[in-house]
Structure 1
């Protein structure tokens, strides 16, 4: 029976933790997660989703502020893990990922080596990909570059956004993690170096300005950008009056030179009842689900009941 240490923080990691807790071939002896952080209007300390799940199962929880601290590493070593499983956690120092006799594996939400980095789900959607997946791999020095174990492909539906694809991949990732750990325990796990490729795209952390829409780009690209950032942190653009409009769903509309001639990119238009759109490089971007600053999220037709586009 393998002793497992699980490392993760957000709810994306919870299905994997629960899958490993149910695995009869091992036991999760400890969970490592982020320290409690202030949240909400009252700024009360809030535990991570992984911590809440671990405590519900009576699993010891470690919450180090410094992964290089000798005290944390001594405490971790005392659990004598055979294997560490990492999902959506911080970068680990070598002294930590190399501690167990079988090493450490990571579950990454892309088909590595494509989309190495912190936000692979967002960037796959923002680039308009039709397929993504999850990968298990052995941790090494460089981020997301270790030897591959298993991969599972997942189609991206035309109506998927970040929220829906996130939910699909966290379930797929949990099943892949279980299969990977079972193979490692049996001594049958593949371990293949990541093949070099010329078409690789990075997946850096999403910053606030990542969401600002650039209307000099084609409308279809902008619609994908919106999908990749919905529901959070959300794409956004300033209206003619300067107010910021968050956009959660949008679609590209071809320009008709007779009924809807194309205006300069960034020009807003509305009939005041049915549509609100903005000109892109090659057509119009119809915004369908929005949130005006200081207001709640609404379908655009409801927004237009009490909103007038200013020139």
Structure 2
């Protein structure tokens, strides 16, 4: 792995009129790393990714992607990245295989076409015209086109939307194989289990600001990651957070026998994410109310 990061962002800002979509965020992504960018709708994820891809200009900050400022990128740079957009509207009259064969011919070292078709679950549709596919099947074509060129850096924007569970797991295996080959992957997804399965690190943004960043199992406050034991007894429903859930359960059993409706809940990335975003939204609402009160007072 090169010492130079695949992606470096410093003080990134983007405004649309008076609306600030991205408010001074910064992060780095190491080469070969799978990095998830998480946040609610309108958080600034898509704007950030579009700036990294060279589709949108920034207002302020420094950005380097594969050693190049994407705002001034060349065609040679663009050939080194793969992009799976959230929506592409692909509806050609060619077949799935024909489309992949055409795209594969544009790259010096493409992936095997049959391998990619199988990885996105389209073996039975390889000879079907793209315009005849369902929306979910077209989405699989989008993913296939994004990975066929064996890119150094792959952007995946909600890649498994429309996938059934089997196809989704096949896609995960494809992403893991790309990661093992050294591909750097930037993933945006609303499936938090997908981010937890695939990502080395994750960043959570909301309101254009970075809330947290780090390895998936360290995101969020320490309290949010503490396991929760929930049980019911004659006096009602109880719950307690503890770093030693097995010890607490043993104490409950010793004191009162087998508890009713016993659960041990270990917080998932989704739980931690919801706590982070919820806290940020509450702070923003409080700040907004304080600002409105100050205006009234003035």
Is the shorter-chain TM-score for this pair beyond 0.5, marking a shared fold? no
Q: Give TM-score, length-normalised by structure 1.
A: 0.26
| TM-score normalised by length of structure 2 | 0.26
Structure scoring higher RCO (CA < 8 A, sep ≥ 6) equals 2
Larger helix proportion of the pair: 2
